[in-house]
Structure formats: structure tokens, C-alpha cells
Amino acid sequence: MKTASYAAEAAKDILHPYTIERRELHDKDVLIEIDYCGVCHTDLHFVNNDWGMTEYPVVPGHEIVGKITEVGSSVSKFKVGDTAAIGCMVNACGKCASCETGNEQYCHAGFTATYNSPIDDPGGFTYGGYSQRIVADESFILKIPVNLELTGTAPLLCAGITTYSPLQHWSVTKGMKVGVVGLGGLGHMGVKFAHAMGAHTVMITTTPEKGNDAKSLGADQVLVSTDTDAMAKEVGEFDFILNTIPVDHKIDPYLDLLKVDGTMCVVGAVEPLSQVNAAQLMFGRKKLAGSLIGGIQQTQDMLNFCGEHNIISDVEVIRMNQIQEAFERLVKSDVKYRFVIDMKSISAA
């Protein structure tokens, strides 16, 4: 895996374009010394150029937590010494209907992603959190509740908001039956959130062995999707299903589980689903939806919610020079449930 190893090299060698070596802090800019950065599957897709859009050199990483070491002259929300976070976005137009309603993730002009997005100042492309430091406008910086442990907080910035946002958008609450399909980085957060929101939370998995883990994460029930009898009993029972499976898969059995007017939201599969039975949507006015991360205010709300409910990700902390092994294990879903890089290790990478 030459490209994965390339990412480690990049993280070690390339000057971060947002660091003060490359750009003086703007009035509203905040400089963060990065403590930890989560490893998202998207990072690997970019490293491997799976989506044909990577601009090398790429420095991945959009689950970033650290300490503020410098602030621009007009920064009002943060001060040096604060613990802070950056997620998947560092800018957006601020003027379109999406930005105006706090949905920067759907900015009509396209948001500036934390890595691999073109930028005017200093030019080139943004570099992400597999790095020592990062600079961004304070409006894209998040506050971290003081009670949250930092390594487990990092993945909240992508895996967390990606699952919290649809659960919150579709008003998941007590009295609802909610399914979470797939138990990985996203799924394990989905279970924690749906449970904390008060829903009867059902882990839906192909792997019976994951049942105990799911229950310890907060699942009230485990439904094994390969057990046709168990699935048949649950037809028409679910108000909402969060589908975190990251690849094409047969979605019909999950649509069957929805109640009339129920919604299944896909947050994992960015590749085309090879078959959707429209009749299953018709017979119950069901919805197949998608959702992408969340807006900045909603991300802050999610972090505050995590503070109130003591929710963090389950993580395995690695050193920078373990990134290649981590990528290899990620492909095999061999992680419970998110790798997080200790960025203090970068100088030794």
C-alpha cells in the first residue's frame, strides 16, 4: 500500500498550508495545535484516490481536537489555551440558503473541506488533521465540553455528527423504535446517540457475534438481518433506520422493516445502490434519504449533547507511524471502533 505510506510521509514532511509559516493569521483565524485526529474511511479513499478527485500531496484528517495557541485580532469566541475542534469543513459561502439556515454542509457553492479543497489563501489545497497544527476561521471551530476525554472526542467531529445529524433531523426521541444498520465507526455512534435520545434502539447486523458489543454500547435489542424469521417479525415496526453500511448492499430487507411514513437514511454508502424497489416505498409512503455530516451549529449541539450524556467514541489510539497498519485494518473493519492518531507522535513518524 504505497499510497497509505505516502500519507504518513506527507504528514511528516509537508508544511501545513494553514500554519503561520504559510499564512499570517487573519483577524478571525484561530491556530490549533493538534492533539488527536481520528482516522475516517474517507481519509483512505482520498489517499488511494478511490474517487478520482485527490489532489496530491494530500494530508487527510477531519476529526481534529487540540489546543488553541494563537488567535487573530478579532476572534471573539475563543482564547489561547482553549480546547477546540475542527470537523470536515473549514469554510463555506455564508450567503446561500443552506448557509443561512445553518446547513453549511449543503452550501450551494460547495463548502471548503478540511482537506483536499481548493483555497485562495495561500493557494493550493487545504491540508487536514494528520498534522501538527491547523488554522481556520473561528466560525468553523467547535468548543469541546470540559468533561469529554479528548481521544474519544476526535471521532465525534465526523462519525459523531454524521450519525447525530439525521437522528436529530428526523426527531428521534422516546417512544420511537430506531434501527441502526452496521456496527462500525458510524454505527457504534448511531447506537449511542439513538439510545441517549430515548429511542428503543435496535442494532441490525449480519453478525450475531456483534450482539453483546452492541448491547454494551446501548442497544436495547439486536436484530440479526440474516435470520429471516427474526426479520419477518419486525416488518413494519421501525420509525426510523440509520443505515451506516459503507458499500452497495441489498436495501429491500431494511425498507421492509419501516412503518408507514418511516424513513431510512443512508449515511455510509457513497457508491450507487444497485437496486431499490420503488414498490416498497409506495406501499407505506416510505422514504429513502441521505444525510451528510451536519452544520456547524448542529455539530456544536452534538458536542454539547455528548457533554451532557457523557458520550464519546470507543477508540484505539495509534502513533503516526502506525497509520499504514491502521488503514489495512480499517479495510477489514478490524477496529473497535475508530483509530485516533496521537499527533504528538508525528515528529517520530
The contact set with a copy of itself (CB under 8 A) reads: 97-98, 103, 106, 108, 166, 169, 236, 260, 263, 266-267, 269-292
What is the Cβ-side half-sphere exposure of residue 145, based on CA atoms within 13 angstroms?
19
Question: Do residues 338 and 38 touch, judged by C-beta distance below 8 A?
Answer: yes
Q: Which is nearer to a copy of itself, 146 or 260 (CB)?
A: 260
Q: Which is nearer to a copy of itself, 103 or 322 (CB)?
A: 103
Q: Which is nearer to a copy of itself, 200 or 286 (CB)?
A: 286
Q: Which is nearer to a copy of itself, 103 or 151 (CB)?
A: 103
Question: Do residues 214 and 191 touch, judged by C-beta distance below 8 A?
Answer: yes
Q: Which is nearer to a copy of itself, 84 or 172 (CB)?
A: 172
Question: Do residues 187 and 164 touch, judged by C-beta distance below 8 A?
Answer: no
Question: Do residues 240 and 262 touch, judged by C-beta distance below 8 A?
Answer: yes
> Can you say how many angstroms the Cα of residue 102 is from the centroid of all Cα atoms in its chain?
18
To the nearest whole angstrom, how small is the minimum distance from the Cβ of residue 54 to a copy of itself?
17
Q: Which is nearer to a copy of itself, 175 or 272 (CB)?
A: 272
Would you call 174 exposed, middle or buried from its count of C-beta atoms within 10 A (0-12, 13-18, 19+)?
exposed
To the nearest whole angstrom, how small is the minimum distance from the Cβ of residue 165 to a copy of itself?
9
To the nearest whole angstrom, how small is the minimum distance from the Cβ of residue 261 to a copy of itself?
8
Q: Which is nearer to a copy of itself, 269 or 349 (CB)?
A: 269
Counting every residue written for the chain, the total comes to 349
Q: Packing angle between helix 159-169 and helix 296-309, nearest 10 degrees? A: 100
To the nearest whole angstrom, how small is the minimum distance from the Cβ of residue 151 to a copy of itself?
28
250: helix, strand or coil: coil
To the nearest whole angstrom, how small is the minimum distance from the Cβ of residue 51 to a copy of itself?
10
Q: Which is nearer to a copy of itself, 17 or 166 (CB)?
A: 166
To the nearest whole angstrom, how small is the minimum distance from the Cβ of residue 155 to a copy of itself?
19
Q: Name which of 114, 118, 9, 2 is nearest 49 in CA terms.
A: 2
**How many whole angstroms separate alpha carbon 153 and alpha carbon 162?**
14
Q: Name which of 112, 106, 105, 116 is nearest 46 in CA terms.
A: 116
To the nearest whole angstrom, how small is the minimum distance from the Cβ of residue 32 to a copy of itself?
27
Q: Are strands 258-266 and 287-290 parallel, antiparallel or unpaired?
A: parallel
Question: Do residues 54 and 91 touch, judged by C-beta distance below 8 A?
Answer: no
To the nearest whole angstrom, how small is the minimum distance from the Cβ of residue 82 to a copy of itself?
31
Give the dihedral of Cα atoms 256, 185, 41, 306; nearest 10 deg.
110
Would you call 14 exposed, middle or buried from its count of C-beta atoms within 10 A (0-12, 13-18, 19+)?
middle
Question: Do residues 122 and 22 touch, judged by C-beta distance below 8 A?
Answer: yes
> Can you say how many angstroms the Cα of residue 243 is from the centroid of all Cα atoms in its chain?
14
To the nearest whole angstrom, how small is the minimum distance from the Cβ of residue 269 to a copy of itself?
5
Q: Which is nearer to a copy of itself, 178 or 267 (CB)?
A: 267
